[in-house]
Homo-oligomer: A and B are copies of this chain.
């Protein structure tokens, strides 16, 4: 059972009201356990579509994971269709009913008809308890093939996967090893990176594959090794990872799914350092990224979002003459903002960003996308000018990550 498919059910996926994040999560979990996902299919919540998709998937692979269509509301037909497909009838499951009752009681709610329907399950399935919600998962076996149906709410699907499905599939998976390693890079772009890695790619052993996965300025390099000898696969992939570090040391900031805010946070924590931010065009995004990391109160003191120049002068203490002479988007203002917030918060490091996010506010000399980033530290202040894009969302995001990357480099090279 080394190959599986995923079926996600819901009109909302087809008309684009909801992005299917469940498939990616399931795909990653399965692939980390050596199970290859052959295909992901999204279909509407209509009986005929569900039956056709199940038939097709079961014709290709021995394991099919289904999400969606089990919610408490009446747009969901999956459960009835599954009961029909496996020739069973719906019965009340006492345990699920007790669980639903208890969950509602904790929230001081009465049981309604929608809740009660959630306790109905096909009589020939294995019920997979869902302590993250009210709709249980269901496992069916048919001619040696396994179909597992889960709710579409991500937290509930994840609970059922982690508690029930992943232990099961890991136990049934055979000997073939697939290893993924992700090397995270920032500060370059795909074609440039591909050029730098041309020789590396040409010299890759046949059992190792390289993929480029760009997203928001970060380019993930994924090395995938495959083989029957687990130890050998591990060793081969590890050699290639080390080689990557020697070819492009300047752009690698970490491994696996690590983010720049996590890497910067760990560096600050390990070195017992603190940071603050003074943000104009990023509007608090950098502070929000830093504090998304658990434990960040150990290295983060606070920020001043100085959108209006009054805050730059009044709170951060930037000299009004600096702003009127050089402009709010200038090296001088960025430096003064960094200095100001570092003093105000008494931190070791301070990040300051000032720029023109757009869509308006650009001039011929300072077009939309012009951003100054400064880092103040005990060693002094450094500043960099960047020109990002014409798009507001991209400018905010690139400014924030570029600032975090600059902080990271400053700490490493201090």
| 0 or 1 for each of A279-318: is its CB under 8 Å from B? (1 = yes) | 1001111111011101111001111111110110011000
A372 to chain B minimum Cβ distance, whole angstroms, is: 17
Whether A345 is near chain B, meaning CB under 8 Å from some CB there, is yes
Q: Which residue of B lies closest to A28 (CB)?
A: B16
| 0 or 1 for each of A119-149: is its CB under 8 Å from B? (1 = yes) | 0000000000000001000000000000000
Q: What is the CA–CA distance of A108 and B277 in the complex, to the nearest angstrom?
A: 33
B192 with A109: CB separation less than 8 A? yes
Q: What is the CA–CA distance of A291 and B395 in the complex, to the nearest angstrom?
A: 12
A41 with B41: CB separation less than 8 A? yes
Whether A259 is near chain B, meaning CB under 8 Å from some CB there, is no
A209 with B75: CB separation less than 8 A? yes
Q: A284-B285, A302-B315 are in contact. Are A14 and B38 (CB under 8 A)?
A: yes
The 19 sampled A-B contact pairs (Cβ below 8 Å) are: A14-B27, A14-B37, A17-B211, A17-B222, A38-B43, A39-B41, A72-B194, A73-B190, A74-B201, A114-B191, A282-B288, A283-B296, A284-B284, A284-B305, A302-B304, A302-B305, A303-B304, A304-B305, A310-B345
Chain A interface residues toward B at CB < 8 A: 11-21, 23-29, 31, 36-44, 49, 53, 71-75, 109, 112-115, 134, 153, 180, 182, 190-192, 194-195, 198, 201, 209-215, 220, 222, 224, 277, 279, 282-288, 290-292, 294-297, 300-308, 310-311, 314-315, 344-346, 357-361, 392-393, 396
- Beyond known contacts A18-B213, A23-B42, A284-B291: 8 more, CB 8 A cutoff: A12-B211, A13-B23, A14-B36, A17-B28, A39-B43, A287-B288, A291-B396, A297-B307
